[in-house]
Structure 1
């Protein structure tokens, strides 16, 4: 079996614009190679700025080869996004255990997301880009929605035990999932602190915040915010 040379390093980070060497591959190997090339290009330049010609040139093949495997740019983009979402989702669920306590499950989710970002930087950058509206398929928001559902189920009993209506759990679940996603987008550029330290701070904020919730929260402001109509 031929070795597939990748434009990504072992951390999933986009490498310089370096074409593949032309080598003979099986059909499946070629498909994987094309997806890797396309992922790195989409992550670095965005969907609109990447062409089939560029994907083919970077992979060391002709344009018809790309069309044969994926039908076009939309096809290869959707395949790449779907693979990244599957990788992230499988990683999250692989960290979760049936009998784990709520905090342990929360920690597992947070660590899994940051682990994915650390090892698949190009894939994460691709997922958080604004997907073209003409394309079908899921996006990073789909994964965040799944995380929100899991977290909502985790904290509903905690809310009820604290005298808070458990039906409000989705509000907190959405906030927590969105916060994890936003921290991830910041961290992918900052690179500090390390993954474990970052996850510990996120869990600390979330867990302690949940313990201090008011049973009937109200806004504290007594002065209405003035409304200034647009000129």
Structure 2
């Protein structure tokens, strides 16, 4: 029985999926249109027809990852009390690293040829959201809310760097990593708890329990 021929849309999605895998394995510079085409079982002109070249395919892959991760982070920071939002954002990023390892590896390793959008741009967006949350908390405590941007930069940088480390380590479990990040960021060195855990509400959200 003859194999059913792919539509143009299906072929495009196939190439994006294969390209994502190859870019994650080899990086942008180490990848080639030839290898992507070979894995897809097509000729190189098919890749050029859909994306104009390796750069075009790579840009599509990165754009999709950026949109996905931005939605995840924005959603996690949008609801709940200040501490819960931070917990949700940390666990959301670590979950993305766990479930979409190829995508995260691409975002943190390579720049996007000919584009201004990057992982650092996404982090700047997160800094703005986190700074708003921290500003409200500082104000309630009678502290200077103008320092929120500094604390926002520090917190997002800590979470992002730890996520990149955990990308290869995968130990301890993401829930433990998230709890310790929040322990440090929320309680400070002087007030850290010996065995921190995430709040019950965040755990219920992760497990789907009510």
Shift of 1:174: 0.9
Distance 1:187 1:160 in 2: 33
Report the secondary structure of 1:131's partner residue.
coil
Please say if residues 107 and 203 of structure 1, whose CA atoms lie closer than 8 Å, have aligned partners that are also in contact.
yes
Query: Which residue is 1:159 aligned to?
Result: 138
Query: Which residue is 2:208 aligned to?
Result: none
The unaligned stretches of length 5 or more in structure 2 are 192-210
Shift of 1:59: 1.1
Query: Which residue is 1:83 aligned to?
Result: 64
Deviations 1:49-77 (A, max 9, x none): 11111111111111111111111111111
Distance 2:5 2:94 in 1: 36
Query: Which residue is 2:147 aligned to?
Result: 168
After TM superposition, the score normalised by the length of structure 2 is 0.83
The root-mean-square deviation of aligned C-alpha atoms, in Å, is 1.9
Query: Which residue is 1:146 aligned to?
Result: 125
Distance 1:171 1:29 in 2: 46
Determine which structure has the larger helix proportion and give its number.
Answer: 2
Shift of 1:110: 0.7
Query: 1:122–1:193: structure 2 CA closer, same or farther, 3 Å change rule?
Result: same
Larger displacement relative to structure 2 (138-147 or 76-85): 138-147
Please say if residues 76 and 89 of structure 2, whose CA atoms lie closer than 8 Å, have aligned partners that are also in contact.
yes
How many residues get paired? 189
Query: 1:148–1:210: structure 2 CA closer, same or farther, 3 Å change rule?
Result: farther
Query: Which residue is 2:16 aligned to?
Result: 35
Query: Which residue is 2:87 aligned to?
Result: 107
Shift of 1:38: 1.0
After TM superposition, the score normalised by the length of structure 1 is 0.76
Distance 2:130 2:72 in 1: 16
